Structure 1
Amino acid sequence: MRRLFPVTDQTADRDSGGTDREWSLAELAAAYAYPGPGGPDGRPGAWLRANMVSTLDGAAQHDGRSQPISSAADMRIFGTLRALADVVIAGAETVRQEGYRPARARAEFAELRQAAGQGPAPVIAVVSASLELDFSLPLFTAPLVPTLILTGAAAAPDRIAAAERAGARVVVAGDGAGVDPARAVRALAELGHTRLLTEGGPRLLGQFVAAGVLDELCLTVSPMLTAGDAQRIAGGPSVEVPRRFTLASLLEEEGFLFSRYRRD
């Protein structure tokens, strides 16, 4: 993996000699570090980052899953972003399709997380209006840290009770059946989770974009073409005026581009 554009460090040179090398996990962690308290522009509260992958023709999935369009380097960055986060937010359908399991503690990041005042692994937060989830899965029965479920005030009481019996913590972040994106971010921040990472899916990411609460997008561009009718990385409601993001860094390995954009 090599750096193409050292956007965040204007004094940095490209790798000497132009040879490729694999970045260490420590280097990746430094490259993808969250901004300090309040973010670079001084805004208080949480910092919401998204991590997504897309083919050249805009497909966010193949056969309903992201793994076929990913790569080993993409998974290294995926793991690094998780290791830096307080909480990983995912929509219920993504949890089902991707077979989500509890986040694990990784020895390589233990010291970094401890220094940042974080627990051994990020919390998984599932966004679900219906709470129609399989609470017998390890995500709920055997997480290292209790799984959160973000839902609306109109969620069925019996489903809330089932989630809590399974060991999950239910957080109300909406007045109706669904979750309000801005309220979800605030609720997580109030629980002490300020380094937020969402892995989608597309509908959830689209809601965060439309609500104007997405701070950063880490997008892997996969050198593949799939055609078909797969979803884009973000769907759902559109914004009135397209939002401008600034390129913060760009890495490359074997034709895969690993971009990081921050909103202006």
Structure 2
Amino acid sequence: MTTVPHVVNSVNLTDDELAALYEYPANSEPWVRANFVVSIDGAISTNGSSVGLTTPLDQKVLKLLRDLSDVVLVGANTIRVEDYIGIKVSEAGSRRRTNRGLSPVPPLAVVSGRADIDPQSRLLTNTTVPPIILTTSTAPTVAKRNLTTAGAQVIELGPGPIETTAIIDTLSSLGMTKILCEGGPNLTGQLVADHLLNEMCVTTAPTMICGNAQRITHLDRHANLKMRCKHIIFDPDGAQLARWITNEQPSSGSIT
């Protein structure tokens, strides 16, 4: 039976009602959600950054999704391109997290096979909580030591390449089961191909980009992960925010 998505107009939508639309499932199993903003023609960036696509409601939902998560998962290249800083949580967001039994501020977990992250970057110098660097045992020792000295929690996930199962299992072992992935396309593509992505949140900005910008996922292997649309929010500025849920049931316990 086909399920019709819940259609919502953002006008007069309260913060509590918006949060209710994006609540995680009420269980302790790992749940991985990704969040992207795209143009009508599928581009995820303009001039290499998503800044030119985002809208006020998209930014509000981005902050909400972070508030609801245990951890924000990002690939190293996205950290560099978007010049990430540590997650900032508003007073209202802090209350929202506390009411859900979450830590005051979610950490960033960064996937980097070679620990190729500048220890002087804003990721480490402008943050409330130290980032988690998920890397390999074969990454340069000096790079890992420099990141540790700069305050990061460096975790080796074997000799590499880094598997998505290792990422999810490691975060889950740290008590972080509500996982928000913010890209990039390679990491998201790997989650999709391995059928470990439970949910995709997509803001479609009311603009066309053309050019050769990347799409949400990019990988050298094919995948077919069926999803259903849970809701669509229409905003007066023309943006559409959709929440897609996988048709597959999450496995019980740790994903292995």
Any residues of structure 2 matched to 1:204-215 within 5 Å, and which? Answer: 204-215=187-198
SS at structure 2 position matched to 1:213: coil
Any residues of structure 2 matched to 1:1-264 within 5 Å, and which? Answer: 5-6=5-6, 21-38=11-28, 45-176=29-160, 178-240=161-223, 242-253=224-235, 254-264=237-247
Determine if contact 1:148/1:171 at 8 Å carries over to the other structure: yes
- Cα distance in 1 for residues equivalent to 2:184 and 2:91: 28
- Cα distance in 1 for residues equivalent to 2:59 and 2:89: 16
Which runs of 5 or more structure 1 residues have no equivalent in the other structure? 8-13, 39-44
Deviation (angstroms), 1:144: 1.6
- Cα distance in 2 for residues equivalent to 1:112 and 1:71: 23
Aligned length: 243
- Cα distance in 2 for residues equivalent to 1:214 and 1:258: 18
TM-score of the two chains, using structure 2 as the length reference: 0.89
Q: Which amino acid aligns with 1:245?
A: M
1:241-264 CA deviation, whole Å, 9 max, x = no partner?
x11001111101122110001101
Change (3 A) 1:227 1:174: farther
Which runs of 5 or more structure 2 residues have no equivalent in the other structure? 248-256
1:204-226 CA deviation, whole Å, 9 max, x = no partner?
11111111110000011112111
TM-score of the two chains, using structure 1 as the length reference: 0.87
SS at structure 2 position matched to 1:101: coil
- Cα distance in 1 for residues equivalent to 2:36 and 2:126: 26
- Larger RCO: 1 or 2 (CA < 8 Å, sep 6+): 2
SS at structure 2 position matched to 1:217: strand
Q: Which amino acid aligns with 1:248?
A: K
Paired residue for 1:41? none
Determine if contact 1:206/1:237 at 8 Å carries over to the other structure: no
